Amino acid sequence: MDAELQSPEPPPHLCYLARQDQFWPRVELSSLRQRLAIPACISDTRLQLAGQQALAIAAREFAGWRLRLRALGYMQLADLSRHAHGRRLCTCYLRLVEHCTLRALGGDAALRGAAHD
């Protein structure tokens, strides 16, 4: 069959970590895997569990910010995205999620070892 007539591959299904509060930005599982260079030997389920744990930690750490911003009328952190401080806070939140996910998976050394097993 001619390559032009074949139907294109469907886009991959996006899987987001479940948020307990809609205030915080969504975290997509494959983006988290790519950003942290998580090897394929770490299952999506294991990554998802580590990510959920990380979201809970980040939500606790940033609870004061959320309270103050909600009091000012901001319903989501994304509402602040046009301000430099809002972008920085979002970046800090996402980096904490990444750090805690990596730590829950055993850290860099454990992942390097898992990739070689």
Q: Each residue of 15-62: pLDDT tens digit?
A: 999 888 999 999 999 999 999 999 999 999 999 999 999 999 999 999
Distances (CA, A) of 32 to 29, 35, 94, 97: 5, 5, 10, 9
Say if 54 falls within a structural domain: no
Say if 86 falls within a structural domain: yes
Say if 95 falls within a structural domain: yes
Confidence at residue 86, expressed as pLDDT on a 0 to 100 scale: 85
Say if 85 falls within a structural domain: yes
Domain count, the chain: 1
Please tell me the least confidently modeled range out of 2-11, 30-39, 71-80, 96-105.
Answer: 2-11
Rounded distance between C-alpha atoms, residue 5 and residue 7, angstroms: 6
User: Phi/psi of residue 99, each to 5°?
Assistant: -60, -45
Say if 68 falls within a structural domain: yes
Confidence at residue 17, expressed as pLDDT on a 0 to 100 scale: 92
Say if 69 falls within a structural domain: yes
pTM: 0.80
Say if 88 falls within a structural domain: yes
Say if 53 falls within a structural domain: no
Residues spanned by the domain of 81: 63-117
